[in-house]
């Protein structure tokens, strides 16, 4: 069930476009912001609300890298794996994170704190290697900084 | 040296508020066009300035606008979209403009919208630019409050709404017709052209999509004229350019410089030269989808014309350096992994060809390559080239591959003959863990 607040926000997005369907990505974003991901149930709810079939909406949802169709942890770590970060040696960062958190790409820590994902270029190539945790960007990274960064997220 | 686009950007300092921006001449171009110029005058001035699209394609901006139907018979509403998706690996120039001076972009968008008589505008920005999104939202609110956006701007009768749309991550969204599909809440597949977006774009209405840097040039062209803009350049391609360097140089970064600054000057004076212990081997001049250039090209001016004549493209003007301690096969493998992953899957050559290319590069990288693999890569550069795919993604992906096969073929062959990567093991690109 969509909450009253979610419906209110989705209604606003619908008001800006010719057809409710045109607001479907915004609606998915709104639901994901609330729940962290888009469950099958949420997908159905959004589909009904904007007048699409669940299959049609899922074809949109699964197209985009950052609509999560599986549960994620409280914080999502996105490690840039594109060219400049690779040239600058991002694998050390990736491997160290994987070891510290005891998870691989696509996995979530047992306590539900972190999910680790690879990500395309974050657009900060002059300060590679870089990663994002939730809305926060970290750059010019060294392995030594990781513990302090991870501690900020509970 | 004039740096019109970045003159008010100080790294680490908050961007100018609307009041501060007005004090340094901000929004003067809006006052000028609304008072003194007809939309056709703006189009002609920008056409005469030779401003070419800074997103990579380099098409004359005024000419692009001129395909939009004008007059009372034209379909309404018309749309202007700022392409702030910037997802080309190695590219980070628009971030500087978005975070550093959001009012300059808004001002440029008002000029562009007026020139094509658009009443609704969008900034399509990638999700990762969180700081930029916050600053742009703040600036849009200020601009509405000051009467630069909304109904009847400064009493002129011209009206414009502006919305920020943040994407949910997909390289395809940078392609202008795919971007329009994304804005409409669809999968970001590219559209067939014609009809061109200028005639039938967002929601089937006339639409112009311009890059952020392109739009940021406009206020300055309006204020100072076409000849001034052309005079900023060292070569025949007009204006300044935001150039960037990433990779193993001493001081990577982004700088606004005269168009046509040489590659050597960029690397040595602005990038500080190569880091100690690293030698220059090659570079991609303008993002992941441009052909490699090598030592012999270092004295070329970075502009559309000269780089194209050398067999590459200036693209976004943000270059990625390949150093001697980075394996060129791993470098290209990383790029092809990106393109294969980001292919929208709509047309067969791209959907099937890119993963094949990636797989072969992985085999070569791991020392499992066979001599015939090089021929397979060669034919992919033809079959995935221009004219064989629905959009420019796969041809773009082939640019670094075909030029790597040309300039670094020996390195590919060594991997195959020696059955391992001649660079250190740590330098084999492994997408997964």
Chain A residues in contact with B185 by the CB 8 A cut-off are 17, 21-26, 60
d(CA B397, CA B347): 15
Which tokens in the block code for residue B78? Answer: 């018309």
What ipTM was assigned to the predicted interfaces of this complex? 0.96
The answer to whether the Cβ–Cβ distance between A123 and B426 falls below 8 Å is no
Chain A residues in contact with B430 by the CB 8 A cut-off are 91
The answer to whether the Cβ–Cβ distance between B320 and A63 falls below 8 Å is no
- Work out how many CB contacts closer than 8 A connect A with B: 136
pLDDT at B430 exceeding the cut of 90: no
Q: Measured at the alpha carbon of residue B52, what is the angle toward residues B112 and B388, in degrees to the nearest 5?
A: 110
State the average pLDDT over residues B128-141. Answer: 97
Q: How far is CA B220 from CA B7, B62, B156, B209, B213, in A?
A: 12, 15, 21, 19, 12
Q: What is the separation, in whole angstroms, between the first and last Cα of chain A?
A: 28
Chain B residues in contact with A88 by the CB 8 A cut-off are 246-248
Instruction: Tell me the per-residue pLDDT of A49-61, one tens digit each, with 9 for 90 and over.
Output: 999 999 999 999 9
The answer to whether the Cβ–Cβ distance between B128 and A132 falls below 8 Å is yes
User: Edge-to-edge strands of the sheet including A114-119?
Assistant: A114-119, A75-80, A131-133, A136-138
Band of residue B426 on the pLDDT scale cut at 50, 70, 90:
low
pLDDT at B344 exceeding the cut of 70: yes
The answer to whether the Cβ–Cβ distance between A81 and B128 falls below 8 Å is no
Q: Spell out where chain A has E strands.
A: 75-80, 114-119, 131-133, 136-138
Instruction: Tell me the per-residue pLDDT of B152-177, one tens digit each, with 9 for 90 and over.
Output: 999 999 999 999 999 999 999 999 99
> Among all residues of chain A, which has the CA nearest to that of B250?
A126
State the average pLDDT over residues B22-42. Answer: 98
- B residues 52-111 near A, CB within 8 Å? 86-92, 94-95
Chain A residues in contact with B426 by the CB 8 A cut-off are 91
Q: What is the pLDDT of residue A115?
A: 98
**A120 touching B (Cβ < 8 Å):** yes
Which tokens in the block code for residue B203? Answer: 């929601």
SS3 category, A87: helix
**B250 touching A (Cβ < 8 Å):** no
> Among all residues of chain A, which has the CA nearest to that of B337?
A82
SS3 category, A137: strand
- A residues 131-150 near B, CB within 8 Å? 132, 135-137
Instruction: Tell me the per-residue pLDDT of B78-117, one tens digit each, with 9 for 90 and over.
Output: 999 999 999 999 999 999 999 999 999 999 999 999 999 9
The answer to whether the Cβ–Cβ distance between B128 and A137 falls below 8 Å is yes
User: Edge-to-edge strands of the sheet including B120-125?
Assistant: B161-166, B120-125, B79-84, B207-211
d(CA B419, CA A152): 45
**B130 touching A (Cβ < 8 Å):** yes
Q: What's the gap between Cα B238 and its chain centre? A: 17
The answer to whether the Cβ–Cβ distance between A123 and B433 falls below 8 Å is no
The answer to whether the Cβ–Cβ distance between A87 and B331 falls below 8 Å is yes
Candidates A119, A120, A122, partner chain B, best to mutate (most B CBs within 10 A): A120
d(CA B50, CA B217): 11
> Among all residues of chain A, which has the CA nearest to that of B426?
A91
> Among all residues of chain A, which has the CA nearest to that of B325?
A87
Q: Which of B246, B263, B385, B413 shows the shortest CA–CA distance to B322?
A: B246
d(CA B299, CA B275): 20
Within 13 Å, how many C-alpha atoms sit on residue B41's CB side? 9
**A94 touching B (Cβ < 8 Å):** yes
Chain B residues in contact with A17 by the CB 8 A cut-off are 184-185, 203
The answer to whether the Cβ–Cβ distance between B90 and A125 falls below 8 Å is yes
Burial of B325 (0-12, 13-18, 19+ CB in 10 A): middle
Which tokens in the block code for residue B84? Answer: 């702030």
**A22 touching B (Cβ < 8 Å):** yes
Instruction: Tell me the per-residue pLDDT of B384-413, one tens digit each, with 9 for 90 and over.
Output: 999 999 999 999 999 999 999 999 999 999
Which tokens in the block code for residue B419? Answer: 């059955």
Q: What is the 3-state secondary structure (H, E, C) of chain B?
A: CCCCCCCCCCCCCCCCCHHHHHHCCCCHHHHHHHHHCCHHHHHHHHHHCCCECCCCCCCEHHHHHCCCCCCCCCCCCCEEEEEECCCCCCCCHHHHHHHHCHHHHHHHHHHHHHHHCCCEEEEEECCCCHHHHHHHHHHHHHHHHCCCCECCHHHCCCCEEEEEEECCCCHHHHCHHHHHHHHCCCCCCCCCCCCCCCCCCHHHCCEEEEEHHHHHHHHHHHHHCHHHHHHCCCCCCCCEEEEEEECCECCCEEEEEECCCEHHHHHHHHCCCECCCCCEEEEECCCCCCCCECHHHCCCECCHHHHHHCCCCCCCCEEEEEECCCCHHHHHHHHHHHHHHHCCCCCHHHHHHHHHHHHHHHHHHCCCCCHHHHHHHHHHHHHCCCCCCCCCHHHHHHHHHHHHHHHCHHHHHHHHHHCCCCCCHHHCCCCCC
Percent of chain B whose pLDDT exceeds 70: 99
State chain A's mean pLDDT as an integer: 97
> Among all residues of chain A, which has the CA nearest to that of B287?
A83
Q: Spell out where A36-127 has E strands.
A: 75-80, 114-119
Q: What angle in degrees, to the nearest 10, is found between the helix axes of B393-407 and B348-365? A: 30
The answer to whether the Cβ–Cβ distance between A66 and B288 falls below 8 Å is no
State chain B's mean pLDDT as an integer: 96
pLDDT at B315 exceeding the cut of 80: yes
Q: What is the pLDDT of residue B433?
A: 75
State the average pLDDT over residues B64-70. Answer: 97
Q: What is the pLDDT of residue B432?
A: 79
pLDDT at B427 exceeding the cut of 70: no
> Among all residues of chain A, which has the CA nearest to that of B168?
A66
pLDDT at B425 exceeding the cut of 70: no
> Among all residues of chain A, which has the CA nearest to that of B289?
A83
DSSP assignment, residue A63? T
Which tokens in the block code for residue B320? Answer: 């990625």
Give the minimum alpha-carbon distance from A4 to chain B in angstroms, rounded to a whole number.
22
Instruction: Tell me the per-residue pLDDT of B256-311, one tens digit each, with 9 for 90 and over.
Output: 999 999 999 999 999 999 999 999 999 999 999 999 999 999 999 999 999 999 99
State the average pLDDT over residues A118-144. Answer: 96
State the average pLDDT over residues A57-70. Answer: 97
B95, B338, B344 ranked by CB distance to A120: nearest: B338
State the average pLDDT over residues B334-340. Answer: 97
């Amino acid at each position: 069930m969509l909450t009253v607040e979610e419906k209110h926000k989705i209604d606003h997005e619908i008001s800006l476009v010719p057809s409710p369907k045109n607001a479907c990505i915004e609606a998915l974003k709104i639901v994901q912001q609330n729940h962290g991901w888009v469950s099958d149930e949420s997908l159905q709810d959004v589909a009904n609300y904007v007048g699409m079939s669940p299959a049609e909406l899922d074809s949109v949802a699964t197209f985009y890298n950052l609509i999560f169709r599986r549960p994620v942890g409280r914080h999502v770590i996105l490690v840039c794996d594109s060219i400049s970060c690779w040239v600058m040696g991002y694998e050390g960062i990736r491997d160290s994170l994987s070891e510290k958190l005891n998870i691989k790409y696509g996995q979530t820590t047992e306590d539900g704190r972190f999910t680790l994902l690879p990500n395309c270029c974050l657009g900060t190539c002059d300060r590679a290697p870089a990663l994002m945790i939730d809305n926060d960007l970290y750059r010019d990274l060294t392995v030594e900084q990781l513990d302090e960064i991870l501690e900020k997220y509970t | 040296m004039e740096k019109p686009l970045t003159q008010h950007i100080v790294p680490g300092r908050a961007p100018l508020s609307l009041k501060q921006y007005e004090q340094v001449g901000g929004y003067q171009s809006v006052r000028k066009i609304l008072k003194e110029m007809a939309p056709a005058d703006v189009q002609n001035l920008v056409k005469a300035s030779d401003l070419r699209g800074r997103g990579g394609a380099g098409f004359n901006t005024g000419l692009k606008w001129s395909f939009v139907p004008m007059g009372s018979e034209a379909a309404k509403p018309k749309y202007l979209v700022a392409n702030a998706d910037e997802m080309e690996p190695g590219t980070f120039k628009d971030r500087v403009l978005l975070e550093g001076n959001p009012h300059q972009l808004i001002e440029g968008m008002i000029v562009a919208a007026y020139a094509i008589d658009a009443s609704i505008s969008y900034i399509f920005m990638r999700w990762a630019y969180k700081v930029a999104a916050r600053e742009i939202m703040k600036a849009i609110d200020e601009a509405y409050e000051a009467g630069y956006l909304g109904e009847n701007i400064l009493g002129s009768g011209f009206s414009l709404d502006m919305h920020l749309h943040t994407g949910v991550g997909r390289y395809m969204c940078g392609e202008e017709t795919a971007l329009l599909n994304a804005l409409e809440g669809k999968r970001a597949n590219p559209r067939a052209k014609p009809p061109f977006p200028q005639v039938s774009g967002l929601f089937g209405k006339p639409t112009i999509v311009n890059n952020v840097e392109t739009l940021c040039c406009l206020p300055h062209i309006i204020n100072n004229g076409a000849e001034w803009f052309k005079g900023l350049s060292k070569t025949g391609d007009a204006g300044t350019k935001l150039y960037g360097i990433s990779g193993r140089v001493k001081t990577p970064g982004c700088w606004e410089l005269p168009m046509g600054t040489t590659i050597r000057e960029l690397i040595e004076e602005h990038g500080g030269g190569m880091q100690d212990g690293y030698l220059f081997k090659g570079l991609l001049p303008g993002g992941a989808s441009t052909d490699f250039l090598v030592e012999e090209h270092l004295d070329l001016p970075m502009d559309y014309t000269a780089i194209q004549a050398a067999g590459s493209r200036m693209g976004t003007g943000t270059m990625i350096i390949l150093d001697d301690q980075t394996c060129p096969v791993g470098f290209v493998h990383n790029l092809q992994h990106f393109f294969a992953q980001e292919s929208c899957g709509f047309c067969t050559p791209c959907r099937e060809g890119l993963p094949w290319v990636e797989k072969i590069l992985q085999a070569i990288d791991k020392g499992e390559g066979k001599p015939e693999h090089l021929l397979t890569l060669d034919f992919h550069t033809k079959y995935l080239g221009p004219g064989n795919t629905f959009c420019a993604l796969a041809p773009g992906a082939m640019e670094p591959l075909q030029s790597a096969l040309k300039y670094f073929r020996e390195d590919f062959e060594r991997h195959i003959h020696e059955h391992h990567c001649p660079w250190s093991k740590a330098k084999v690109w492994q997408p997964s863990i």
